[in-house]
Chain A
Amino acid sequence: MTGRPRATNSNKATGNMIRDSALGLLPETLGYYMALNRNIWESGPLSPAEIEIARLRNARKVNCVFCKSVRYDIARADGLSEDKVAMIQDDFRDSALSEREKLILAFTDQFLNDPGGLNEALKAELLAVFSANELVHLSMVVAHFSGFSRCAVALGGMPDSLPIMEISLPQ
């Protein structure tokens, strides 16, 4: 990784973390990107805490320092505690997370590690617990946040660490 930003947005700051990022250089896509981000959080069947579990697992695997440090207020309000966040580790299968939460992490890992190698056992577990709409939502959650994390990593300017920061959904 590099600590030096590879692209800079010198437009006037708006206070919106996405608009003020390098993505603000792309007005042709920015509005659509932000609309999708809102719908990912607000328009699917998974709860904010479940979305946050998948987002944080992705952030840790992709090693996006920004994404790892963020906590969405709507996920905390939905019951996602730091104790639970601490269980989002490689040994999550042995943790006190619920079966549903463990499967969210297993799906996220499959997407990141070996998307073409899904085995029948995990597929059966997922189908037994989640509806079709929930599986599609989880898929879009993971794909969206994977792209966002990789974007932050690829554009550089990443510090070695950041404190935990609670934020609201960018509007």
Chain B
Amino acid sequence: MGWVSIGNDRNSTIGVLPDIAATFAALYRSLWTQPHLPAAVLELCRLRLAQLHQCAVELQRRDCDIPADKRSNLAHWNIHSSFSDAERACLAFTEVYAMDTQALTDDQAAAVKLHFGDAGLVLLVEALGILDGMTRLSLLWQLPATIDHPTA
């Protein structure tokens, strides 16, 4: 159980506010079904955020299936052959976003747009805001990694 409420995972914690929980869940689901950025690419970015934040709960979560070699080599995405140019562009953007959003460059944004267009870039930015926020809350709420049972 976290310390803010009786919830022991993300859904049960937010669930004490049903209206907000329902709309958040709908928005979160829509990130994984939209047509602008493949869900598997988004999952790589989500997991990279979790690595950078050292968040065990979010590393344990699986929102979309990805190949095991990509998951295990994610920290070395820039040198590992498993990752495509499109994935590298999004992961490079994600890393700078996580460390200092103001430091993002036009070139990093252009690299994402080269593969996914303007809408793909906007989707990535919108999703990173949500994923980064929820990763921070998992840490702040001190949710236990062994109890949270994420869903894909």
A interface residues, Cβ below 8 angstroms from B: 1-2, 4, 6-8, 22-23, 25-26, 28-29, 32-33, 35-36, 38-40, 43-44, 62-63, 110-112, 115-116, 118, 123, 127, 132-133, 135-137, 139-140, 142-144, 146-148, 150-151, 153-156
Contact = CB atoms under 8 A, between A and B. Distances in A.
Contacts of A43: 17, 19-20
Interface in B99-152: 101-102, 104-106, 109-110, 113, 118-119, 121-123, 125-126, 128-130, 132-137, 139-142
Given A118-B140, A137-B17, 18 more contacts: A6-B106, A7-B109, A25-B122, A26-B126, A28-B36, A32-B26, A35-B26, A35-B27, A38-B23, A43-B19, A136-B7, A143-B133, A143-B136, A146-B136, A147-B129, A150-B97, A153-B101, A154-B125
B75 interface: no
Interface residues of B, number: 53
Interface of B: 3-7, 13-14, 16-17, 19-20, 23-24, 26-27, 30-31, 33-36, 53-55, 97, 101-102, 104-106, 109-110, 113, 118-119, 121-123, 125-126, 128-130, 132-137, 139-142
B16 A133 contact: yes
B74 to A, nearest CB: 20
B19 A7 contact: no
Given A6-B106, A150-B128, A139 B20 contact: no
A62 B104 CA distance: 13
13 contacts: A28-B34, A29-B27, A33-B126, A39-B20, A115-B136, A115-B140, A135-B4, A136-B7, A143-B133, A146-B132, A147-B130, A154-B128, A156-B109
